Amino acid sequence: MTIVITGATGNVGRPLVAELAAMGAAVRAVSRTPHSAGFPAGVAAYGSIADALQGASAVFLNSRALGPAMTEVVARCRDAGVAKLVALSAINADDDVSRQPSRYRGDRNKEVEQLAIDSGLAWVSLRPTVFATNFVGMWGAQIRMGDVVAGPYATASSAPIVESDIAAVAARTLLTDDFLGQQIPLTGPQAFTNTELVEVIGAALGRPLRYCEIPAAQVRERFTTLGFSPEFADAYLAMLAQTLDKPALVTADVEKIVGRPAVTFAQWVVSKNQGQQDLFAN
């Protein structure tokens, strides 16, 4: 079975390539820099998905990596005789776009899912919640500089998922036909408020970290400083606001599909702050 991975150097794509290679699959990894991507031995690297499709059995679709070529790529998959598409969507894909901050980072979660559904091919859609690594981008600099994390809505809730768990689920949906026609919601094993997430990071680092809620205007300013657009900030605020009275959904799909418990947020923080991966440590 030959599997094509788009977005192969991304937060999900890279561990997915490694997972599939370890499971003995023939993997074709599509990357803008195929010769310097550092994929595992035996993985075939391609700079173009068009070149990678001939003879492929299944394709992992990452909308951010595909960009405006997404519709064309799905048509090419059909023409090339690909049997199955696995789309990387999001748990909030059905929400109003004003509550989908990832759209302002290039994701088209609903669209890539719908293209897979309408393709006429076998399909699976993975709908993960917020990625654990997102908190490095949002909070990492503050944690490295001090013991206070400033942000919106201290009691807003999320159930972060570790990207390697998304990859583990994706590998199984690509290699088997057990999940065809399903939209699978993927979360971490526990929901936390923002206050609790900062406390988890602090406990893992052995530091007295605390969360400080700040007004929306300051949130927008902080996101702008980090390189995010004001539209991203507004969508992020709106997404969090809807969890103030309704805690984030927690599902057991990772454990059901992979056959082991999902990695906890605390385990992930510890793993990322060892050796050369001290993402939060100061």
Domain that holds residue 254: 2-130+162-187+249-263
Q: What is the pLDDT of residues 31-89, one digit of tens each?
A: 988 888 899 999 999 999 999 999 999 999 999 999 999 999 999 999 999 999 999 99
Q: Number of structural domains, the chain?
A: 1
- Confirm whether 126 is domain-assigned: yes
Q: Strand 44-46 vs strand 122-128: parallel, antiparallel, or unpaired?
A: unpaired
Distances 100 to 5, 90, 218 between C-alpha atoms, Å: 24, 9, 20
CATH number at residue 168: 3.40.50.720
Please indicate, yes or no, if residue 135 is contained in any of the structural domains.
no
Question: Considering the domain boundaries, does residue 243 fall inside one?
Answer: no
Q: How confident is residue 279, by pLDDT bands cut at 50, 70 and 90?
A: low
Q: Give the Cα separation of 119 and 204 in Å (integer).
A: 45
Residue 20 domain-assigned (yes or no) = yes
Strands 2-5 and 210-213: unpaired
**pTM more than 0.85:** yes
Confidence of residue 276 (pLDDT cuts 50, 70, 90): very low
**Residue 199 counted as domain residue:** no
Rounded CA separation 133/138 (Å): 9
The mean per-residue pLDDT over the stretch 108-132 comes to: 98
B/e letters for 53-83, b = 16+ CB within 10 Å, e = fewer, are beebbbbbbbbbbbeeebeebbeebeebebe
Would residue 274 count as lying in a domain? no
Residue 148 domain-assigned (yes or no): no
In a domain, 9, yes or no: yes
